[in-house]
Amino acid sequence: MNNYEWVSILCVFCYTCLLMTFIPAIGNRMVRSFLGILLAMLLWTGGSYCMRLQLFPSIDFWFHTSILGLFILPYAFLLFIQEYVNHKNRKGNLIWFLLLGVLYVFNVVTEKVIPAPRIEQIGGTQIRFIYDFNWMVSLAFIVFSLVLLHMLGLILIAAKKDKHYRKQLVPIEIGIFIMFLGHVFLLFPLFRGFPTDLLSGFFNAICMIYALSKRKLFRLQLLASRTSCYSITGLIVLFFSYFIVSGIDYFPSSHDKSSSIKIMMVFVFLILISTMIIYQLVKKFLSAIFIREELRKSENLKEFTHSVTKTLNVQEILEQLASVIQQTVKAKNVYICVTDNEGNYTMQHSATSLGYSSFVLTKSHPILSFLKKNDGCISYRRFKRTQSYKSMWEQEKRLFNDWGIEYLLPLKTEEDLVGIVLLSAKGKSEYTHEDIDFLVSISSVSSIAVKNSKLYEKAFEEARRDELTGLFNRKCFFGTLDVLVEKYKDKSLALAILSIDDFTLYNQLYGAKEGDIALQKIARIIESTLGEDGFAARYKGKVFSLIMPEYDIYRAKMTVDKICEQVKDINSTADNYRLKVLTLSGGICGIPYTASNAQELLYNAELSVYNAKRSGKNTIKVYSVSDENTQTDGQSQSSLYNSQAYSEYAPTIYALTAAIDTKDHYTFGHSKNVAYYAAELAKGLHLDSDHVEIIREAGLLHDIGKIGIPEDILNKPGKLTSEEYEIMKGHVENSIGIIKHLPSLDYVIPAVIGHHERYDGRGYPRRIGGEDIPLSARILCIADSFDAMISKRSYKQSMPLERALRIMREESGKQFDPELAPVFIELVESGTIQVIHSELLSISGKN
Amino acid sequence: MKFEEKLNEGNKQEIWDEYCGFLDLSMEDYMTIQKRLLLEQIDLWSKSRLGQKFLKEKTVSDIEDFRNTIPITTYRDYSDVLLQKNKDMLPQDPVLWIQTTWEGGTNPVKVAPYTKSMLETYKKNMMACFLLSTSEKKGDFDISAKDHILYALAPLPFATGILPVLLKEEIDIKFLPPVEEAQNLSFSERNKKGFKLGLKQGIEFFFGLGSVTYYVSKSFASLSGGGQKGGSLKQTLTGVSLDRLLKYVKTQRNCKKNGTSMAPKDLFQLKGFMCAGTDNQYYKDDLEDLWGIRPMELFAGTEPTIIGTETWTRSGMYFFPDACFYEFIPDDEMEKSLADPSYQPKTLLMDEVVPGEKYEIVLTVLKGGAFVRYRVGDMYRCVGKTNKEDETFIPRFQYVDRIPTIIDIAGFTRITETSIETAMDLSGLNIQNWVARKEYLDEKRPLLHIFVEMHKDSMVTTGMSQQIIKEHLSIYFRYLDHDYKDLNIILGMDPLKITLVKHGTFEQFETEGDSFSRKVNPPLSEMNHFLRILSGIREDRRFK
């Protein structure tokens, strides 16, 4: 060991270990090119070692072998770097190959570039190798430098494009630099005889090990078998044993036998301990460079994929997603936001127990628009450098900062962004490329799973919901009632059934559209009043049911009363003045008070509703046993609009029409005629008697607003000016203004307000058209126009019946409903409708 | 991450996109940023006591509601809160108060609060200006931590004083002379020192008010002249690099030979040249001659912060989308509101402006600022909604001037009807009638032109030439207005021009059925009529 052969041994040992690690690896071009470096290093250091041991055949042979390794080395490094940075253009390689080859051959022949070392005897047996360089050695340095520069150029170009390269290759660059210096130092007399070149080779090996294990230069596939581990450990132990055994010689030979055994035992113990330590270190190194970690990740991914395909519960998927990310990537925290029905992204899961359920990214949020445009796992730092970040609110920035968000992972299916995963920092370490790859893979799996489960949940929810009101439907109601009764049978539970009064009429008066709006408004009131405490469903068309767990009868009645109060106010706003006031009739029953099971509860509540309807509507009845006896066969259901009821209002109507009569005699006769024609047409359309009666009353009252028109306009002979006509048109609004103060007559409002509307939408006052005009108004329009045409006025003669009917035909679909006008004409022509030829009572009559 | 660190990372495109990417925004994306940040500001502002003072328990739900509910404001609306620096009433805690003169106000100064996030935005936008000032095309810039900037700024608490503070946080560009030293030097000392240090270290950036940069640049000639006197030349040139020294000697010789004075461009090659303030259009050509590079104009103010910048094409300013929410009062609406202060002018948003039209700008300072729908008093002309050269799709503007009721001279002083009247009152001059407007000497330098009609009696009893009136008024303007005084001290300007009009001119003007709707910068039609009468009288006299 006198000629510094230990330096060679160290080098040979390191490169052998590395080679053993790589040889069983699944080869690709990059691994092979790295193997090339290792082989060249072994050739160089091994050759040097053999030379220093002065092995067979000769020093000269081993010297040239070593130099061959040295000449191959820059070329091998160049090939590896080209492979690593994926540099395709390798035309220049041939030049380097030839240059290095020629130089080597020249050196073999002449030994002028790097001359063979001179052996110098120092002391007795000790020798050392002395190199005597001349200027020719600079040729080798120049060529090596040029190759290295080429290599560095490639690294720089690649690092500009991707910073990853720069970081990864720094240890390799340092290793090369050290080796270059090591060779330069050979030229200095200070290091004469000391193999600085080989020592630098050792440092290069350290750099390589660092690059492979810490910087993850590249990963080797499926190699971390225990065999490799054993082999390397064995090699190292052998190496140490060699030194230790030779160390025994240093102990004095005078020791007795027992001492020798003790010494031997100590050595054996040391070898054992060092074997264990070395085994662990080698294992750690191997696991660092082999893809065991990736295997774990892919197993986690596989497991996750498998488990999320088995569930359709969004929450469950999100929990699993957060868990797999935390386990695999070791993110401190994971926050997941998922799109809701409004298109906002609400936080539905966070890995912390604190929970941030109130956190919402509104649909116009800049993060969303950014993620919609960008794919993959995106660093928050990158987002912060975009223009989208400019529109983030300060409190949002602070929140993201507090959460330590580092990455944004969109959950996308095709173009749909179904959710976002916000990932906080990993602690001390940073996210690696492998982490990002894993996150991207997991996002594609989970986005599909989340989307499917959302669709399923939506479909499931829709199946339970009433489409119009958004409340639960009848089927769901029955199911829930059974469950809740069973659950609360030992406590208390109240059931209320609420039915809208005269809702069929409401629909007929204002049309189905208004009816639907009313249903929706009532549903919202029920929902908001009941809150989270109860369960509301649309039980039948106009009937709602409310299940109120843990409510007693008193509390249930209070709640229902509140609902009724709010429902009454629905049409009290200025916008809805023309609509009839809505009221509810309801029945309440509760367990254990007046029922003991679900069936009885429902039956009793329904019976109470029936009683409420019978007792004049607009009331809430609480079920009691006596109600049972009041049940009849259902024949005596009251009607507000039968002829008997009408007679109650007749005096009011006549009083009002008489009031206009004093101002404009014509109007009263006209109103009576219109009432007749309209009622006959309604009969002809087979409307029910209530409806016919309403239309008759509407006919009588339709011009009541003319009371408010100045007499000079009302009775003006000749054509009205446009200003006067505008005032005249105001009689419709005036009519409503009068009638709305008579709640008992409010049902005629739709007909009155709409009788000057035209089917083609060009009428007044609301310029509505088609089916949007209430049916009663369309009927009144025909009756009103017909009477106006066939009546005699001061400024015109009465129109012949045929002409009036022809005009009606022509105007069908324009002014008149195309389905009603032919019916009316037919009724007139068949004589069902008797034509009344009024006498001129007044000189007024612009209508 | 500091700008300097980003620079070291070496990805120029990323830096450009981050700072200057707003130029690539579509109109829709631009408005999205504007509107979202305004909603944030509405939220902060309406919760504050300052906001409640305006809202009086009303609530503002959206942007339209905000524009309909909040009237256009002026500093007077905020003065009680801001002048007392009552931070409890503000939307967010200020970290800095910036000060400026309150033209025609009840207080000599007005102050504006700056929040932390406002300064963050300021910093980013300021760096964008630095990048753009060095760019010759999109994505191109040249800035380094080794650069030097010539100091031509007012220190804190004035708005320009923010620049060195914020710049230091991002990149270690050195000020010549260093900021701490510069603040203790007089204007001329500072310039001399700056140029001397520039000779040794180089000058790569120059930024200041257009007028100030012009006078600083002019002072370079005197510095080179001073060098000839002997002693200081040696002192000045000690430590100067050899090539710059040779260049200096060569240029000096050429100048002597040609009888010209040395210009900064002979010795320095600026990377970026920026100017702010008013009247820049009248200095830009001269500045380009002096430095060999055309200054890039940007707009920053005490209340609005830094809001706009030109680009490499120097063809109009673009407003930063995250500094303020911008509204624009069309010219005719502005005139209506100036004539009737109770009139609420209609405003347009950035996506509604029309190229060629002139607008008064109305700002809502974002990020917790105090001012909403604030009339800053500046007018801009929209010069285009897209630009092929810049590859932009957002409107760009040219600074026109202050609103007509304010006469701004070189960005230094702002003269109003009140300030002129106060000066006249104090002067004791028996002025019967007057009207003033801003004019430009040789179409280059701004001046305040006052047409004065003296009282009939005083003409008999007092010596009253135009020069006497000018000197009288100048003294009182300087006495009343420190900025006016600085105009004289720093820039050597006396911007006052007096025209003594014949007695009866104003009366005749009114007899002919006209009257001035305002005494400062009256509408052109009124002024033309007045001038016609003025010239007519003179002609009459000639013919007689």
Q: Which stretch, A138-142, A732-736, A839-843, B242-246, has highest mean pLDDT?
A: A138-142
CA distances (Å), A643 to each of A492, A634, A655, A672, A776, in order? 46, 20, 18, 17, 18
Q: Could you give the percent of chain A with pLDDT greater than 70?
A: 86
The C-alpha of A344 sits at a distance from chain B's nearest C-alpha, in angstroms, of: 15
Closest Cα in chain A to B35: A391
Distance (Å) from the alpha carbon of B36 to chain A's nearest alpha carbon: 6
- pLDDT class of B228 with cuts at 50, 70, 90: very low
Asked whether the predicted pLDDT for residue A709 surpasses 90, the reply is no
> Which residue from B minimizes the CA distance to A384?
B18
Q: Which of B14, B25, B368 sits opposite A387 (nearest CB)?
A: B25
Q: How far is CA B444 from CA A183, B3, B438, B449, B534, in A?
A: 71, 38, 12, 15, 25
Rounded Cα gap, residues B346 and A776, in angstroms: 47
pLDDT band at A25 (very low <50, low <70, confident <90, very high): low
> Distance of CA B386 to CAs B258, B383, B452, Å?
46, 9, 46
CATH architecture for the domain at A643-829: Orthogonal Bundle (1.10)
Best mutation site among A390, A393, A397, A406 for testing chain B: the one with the most B CBs within 10 Å? A390
* B21·A391 Cβ contact <8 A: no
pLDDT of residue A353: 59
- Higher confidence at residue A282 or residue A473? A473
Q: Do A385 and B321 touch (CB under 8 A)?
A: no
Of B10, B322, B368, the CB nearest to A390: B322
Contact A387/B at CB under 8 A? yes
Residue of A nearest to B1 (CA): A381
Helix (H, G, I), strand (E, B) or coil at B504: coil
Residue B33 to residues A369, B19, B155, Cα–Cα distance (Å): 12, 15, 32
Task: List chain B residues with CB under 8 Å of A386.
Answer: 17-18, 21
| pLDDT band at B231; cut points 50, 70, 90 | very low
A257 reaches B (C-beta below 8 A) = no
Q: Give the residue carrying structure tokens 């002309």.
A: B381
Q: Which residue type does A759 have?
A: Y
With CA atoms as reference, the chain A residue closest to B323 would be A390
pLDDT band at A740 (very low <50, low <70, confident <90, very high): low
> How many Cβ pairs within 8 Å bridge chains A and B?
42
The CATH code of domain A294-462 reads 3.30.450.40
Q: Which range is least confidently modeled, A9-13, A149-153, B436-440?
A: A9-13
Minimal-distance CA residue of chain B relative to A163: B9
Of A159-163, A358-362, B433-437, the range with the lowest mean pLDDT is A159-163
| Owner of token pair 């010689």 | A249
B387 in Cβ contact with B408 (< 8 Å): no
- Contact call for A386 and B21, based on CB within 8 A: yes
Most B CBs within 10 Å: which of A155, A165, A363, A394, as the mutation test of the B interface? A394
- Give the mutation candidate from B22, B37, B123 for the A interface (greatest A CB count, under 10 A): B37
A48, pLDDT greater than 90: no
Q: In what order do the strands lie in the sheet with A334-339?
A: A360-361, A345-350, A334-339, A416-424, A405-413, A378-379
pLDDT of residue A720: 80
The answer, yes or no, to whether residue A362 has pLDDT greater than 50, is yes
User: What's the pLDDT tens digit per position in A169-212?
Assistant: 888 889 999 988 888 888 888 877 788 888 888 898 888 888 87
Cα A609–Cα A615–Cα A620 angle in degrees, nearest 5: 45
Work out the end-to-end distance of chain B between its first and last CA atoms, rounded to an integer number of angstroms.
79
Nearest to A391 among B10, B17, B32 (CB): B32
> In the predicted model, what is the mean pLDDT of residues A59-66?
89
Residue in B with minimal Cα distance to A390: B322
Q: Which residues of B fall within a CB distance of 8 Å from A366?
A: 32-33, 36
Which of A423-427, B269-273, B479-483 is predicted least confidently?
B479-483
3-class secondary structure per residue, B254-286:
HHHHHCCCCCHHHCCCCCEEEEECCCHHHCHHH
What is the predicted pLDDT for the residue at B524? 86
Domains in chain B, ordered, with CATH? 3-118+294-402 (3.40.50.12780), 144-270 (no CATH), 411-543 (3.30.300.30)
Say what the ipTM of the complex is. 0.84
Q: Residue A508 and residue A71: Cα distance in Å, rounded?
A: 101
Domain chopping of chain A, boundaries: 5-220, 224-290, 294-462, 474-630, 643-829
Residues in chain B closer than 8 A to A398 (CB atoms): none
Region B294-321: mean pLDDT is: 93
Confidence tier at A24 by pLDDT (50, 70, 90): low
Query: CA nearest A185: which of A199, A175, A170, A174?
Result: A199
Ranges of beta strands (E only) in B73-117 are 94-101, 109-115
Q: How open is the CA angle B439-B445-B446, to the nearest 5 degrees?
A: 40
CA distance A150 to chain B (A): 21
Task: Name the minimum distance, in Å, from the CA of B48 to any CA of chain A.
Answer: 16
Checking if the pLDDT of B26 tops 90, the result is yes
B21 min Cα distance to partner chain A (Å): 6
Q: Which residue of A has its CA nearest to B25?
A: A387
Nearest-CA distance B116 → chain A (Å) = 10
Residue in A702, A705, A708, A715 with CA at minimum distance from that of residue A674: A702
* Residue closest to B223 by CA, chosen among B178, B259, B263, B258: B263
Tokens, residue A656: 């009002």
pTM as predicted: 0.63
Which chain B residue lies closest to A161 (C-alpha atoms)?
A: B11
CB of A391 less than 8 A from some CB of B: yes
Give yes or no for A390 touching B (CB within 8 A): yes
- CA A311 vs. chain centroid, Å, equals 18
Locate B339 and state its tokens: 């004539």
**CB-CB under 8 Å, B368 with A390:** no
CATH of the structural domain A5-220, one choice from 3.30.230.10, 3.40.1180.10, 3.40.190.10, 1.20.1070.10: 1.20.1070.10
* pLDDT classification of B310: cutoffs 50, 70, 90: very high
Q: Length of chain B, please? A: 544
pLDDT of residue A635: 38
Looking at mean pLDDT, say which of A349-358, A745-754, B158-167 comes out highest. Answer: B158-167
Token pair of B183, please?
A: 């603040």
Task: Note which residues in 101-160 of chain A have CB less than 8 A from chain B.
Answer: 160
Residues 6+ positions from B331 with CB-CB distance below 8 Å: B357, B358, B359, B360
Q: Which two tokens stand for residue A490?
A: 């030992």
**Distance separating alpha carbons of residues A37 and A19, to the nearest angstrom:** 10
Q: Give the chain A residue whose CA is nearest to the CA of B92.
A: A394
Q: Which of A49-63, A248-262, B280-294 has the lowest mean pLDDT?
A: A248-262
Per-residue pLDDT tens for A100-131? 999 999 989 888 888 888 887 776 667 778 88
Q: Per residue in A776-815, pLDDT tens?
A: 889 999 999 999 888 876 667 788 889 999 999 999 999 9
Q: Which positions in chain B touch A163 (Cβ < 8 Å)?
A: 9, 11
Whether the predicted pLDDT of B41 surpasses 90: yes
Q: How far is B95 from chain A (nearest CA, A)?
A: 16
Instruction: Look at A476 and B463; give whichever has higher pLDDT.
Output: A476
**Tokens, residue B449:** 């032109």
CA distances (Å), origin A361, targets A157, A364, B284: 41, 8, 47
User: Do residue B33 and residue A163 have CB atoms under 8 angstroms apart?
Assistant: no
Outline where A111-256 has alpha helix (H): 137-161, 163-185, 196-213, 226-248
Which residue do the tokens 């022809």 mark? A806
Average pLDDT over residues A492-499: 93
Nearest CA in chain B to A391: B33
pLDDT beyond 80 at A736: no
Residue of A nearest to B322 (CA): A390
CB contacts of B29 in chain A (<8 Å) are 387
> Which pLDDT belongs to residue A645?
45
Locus of tokens 């600079």: A138
Q: Which residues of B touch A (CB under 8 A)?
A: 1, 9-11, 14, 17-18, 21-22, 24-25, 29, 32-33, 36-37, 40, 117, 321-322, 367-368
> Cβ contacts (< 8 Å) between B322 and chain A: which residues?
390-391
Contacts of A323 (CB under 8 A, 6+ apart): A351
CATH topology of domain A474-630: Alpha-Beta Plaits (3.30.70)
- Residues 331-370 in A contacting B (C-alpha not used; CB under 8 Å): 364, 366, 369
Confidence of residue B132 (pLDDT cuts 50, 70, 90): very high
> In a 3-state reduction of DSSP, which class is residue A139?
helix
C-beta atoms of B33 and A393 within 8 A: no
